Amino acid sequence: MKIVNETVNIDGIDKEILRSLMNDARRPILEIARKIGISGAAIHQRLRKLEESGLISGSRFIINPRILGYTTMAFIGIYLDKAIRNPEAVKQLKEIPEVLECHYTTGNWSILIKILCKDNEHLMELLNHKIQSIEGISRTETFISLHQQIERQIQL
Amino acid sequence: MKIVNETVNIDGIDKEILRSLMNDARRPILEIARKIGISGAAIHQRLRKLEESGLISGSRFIINPRILGYTTMAFIGIYLDKAIRNPEAVKQLKEIPEVLECHYTTGNWSILIKILCKDNEHLMELLNHKIQSIEGISRTETFISLHQQIERQIQL
DNA sequence: ATTGAAATGGAGCGGTT
DNA sequence: AACCGCTCCATTTCAAT
């Protein structure tokens, strides 16, 4: 396993390019070029370097789950009966598509997950029939997000 | 305020298009067209409709904060001395760029935030000098994410 | 709702400063 | 590093089905 721990220096122009594309991945390179006053080829070259450095890890269309009827987001703290069971439990959690994030955390729980459901009933069903039936999971604590007030990436 | 609560029906072709662009927002439309066997113009039109429906809420370059030296992610549960102070507290939290998410939650806390810091020292500094000095915040509980094992959007 | 064709403009490369 | 000029290809629109 290669450890990539190196940090990288980016200048103001890199930041402008990245900020632009972090807000709209399909913005044309040439449009950015005109705005910041350098050539398209220069941006092209900078993007190549930023990709090589690992700073850019891809691009995504963002979809709004509300429109598909997913309106209930929750965080669930999970207690494992033995911490060593973590890898198996995570493997099972991966099989539940509603689980969007899974963190191995310090503190009370072994695992903290973020989950997105259609409604409270759906959440309850997942808790009772999928999550709590995973071997090794002894107990859970659920926190429903009534409203997400901030959602962003790191700022440059 | 317009309430957009309507759900939308998408067919298998929409799903293929979206799945493709959710993994790589800059994949050429024509490449997708060739793969699934319809014309570029058809995809173009479908994307227009999906945007109008609100299902697509944009596209983003994803940057890897590790490369900038941000290696410590944590969740912080926040107790407010009066729940009514939520709007002010959130306003202040927005001013802290390291705060990536902020949720108004049921359960013990009023607020749950996700925060990304360079290291533990940076986290401690933010807790002591920024977060806990926000008026209305009485107490916090911090959970460090030692490892994020799942990170994804909803599946189509 | 999809198609093909046409116009416009962007992507990406090589040579140059 | 950046620029220019070039070729190739994608995007987008439109009339037609």
Q: Which domain holds residue B118?
A: 65-145
- pLDDT above 70 covers what percent of chain A? 96
Nucleotide nearest to A39 (CA to C1'): D3
Q: Are residues B48 and B115 in the same domain?
A: no
Contact B104/A149, CB-based, under 8 Å?
A: yes
Give the CATH number of the domain where residue A12 resides.
Answer: 1.10.10.10
Residue B151 domain flag:
no
Is residue B3 helix, strand or coil?
coil
Q: Are residues A118 and A96 in the same domain?
A: yes
Q: Are residues B82 and B135 in the same domain?
A: yes
Q: Residue A35: which pLDDT band, with cuts at 50, 70 and 90?
A: very high
Q: Are residues B135 and B73 in the same domain?
A: yes
Q: Are residues A70 and A134 in the same domain?
A: yes
- Cα dist from A96 to A99, A101, A118, A129, B125, whole Å: 6, 11, 14, 11, 37
Q: Are residues B71 and B139 in the same domain?
A: yes
Q: Are residues B45 and B93 in the same domain?
A: no
The alpha helices in chain A, defined as continuous H runs, are 12-23, 29-36, 40-53, 86-94, 120-125
pLDDT at A6: 64
Residue A84 domain flag:
yes
Contacts of B108 (CB under 8 A, 6+ apart): A143, B77, B79
List, for residues B98-141, the tens digit of each pLDDT value: 999 999 999 999 999 999 999 999 999 999 999 999 999 999 99
- Strand D–CB B44 distance below 7 A: yes
CA-closest candidate to residue A109, choices B100, B146, B106: B146
| Paired tokens of A5 | 């721990």
Q: Is A14 on the interface with B (CB under 8 A)?
A: no
CA-closest candidate to residue A66, choices B55, B153, B24: B55
Residue B60 domain flag:
no
Q: Is the pLDDT of residue B3 over 70?
A: no
Q: Are residues B138 and B81 in the same domain?
A: yes
Residue B103 domain flag:
yes
Q: Are residues A88 and A119 in the same domain?
A: yes
| A30 φ/ψ sector (left φ>0, alpha ψ -120 to 50, else beta) | alpha
Residue A22 domain flag:
yes
pLDDT at A84: 85
List, for residues A39-78, the tens digit of each pLDDT value: 999 999 999 999 999 999 999 999 999 999 999 999 999 9
CB contacts < 8 A (A, B)? 221
- Domain count of chain A? 2
**Which strand (E) or helix (H) includes residue A151?**
strand A137-151
Residue B118 domain flag:
yes
Reported pTM = 0.94
Residue A152 domain flag:
no
pLDDT at B7: 77
List, for residues B17-71, the tens digit of each pLDDT value: 999 999 999 999 999 999 999 999 999 999 999 999 999 999 999 999 999 999 9
CA–CA gap between residue A79 and residue A67 (Å, rounded): 33
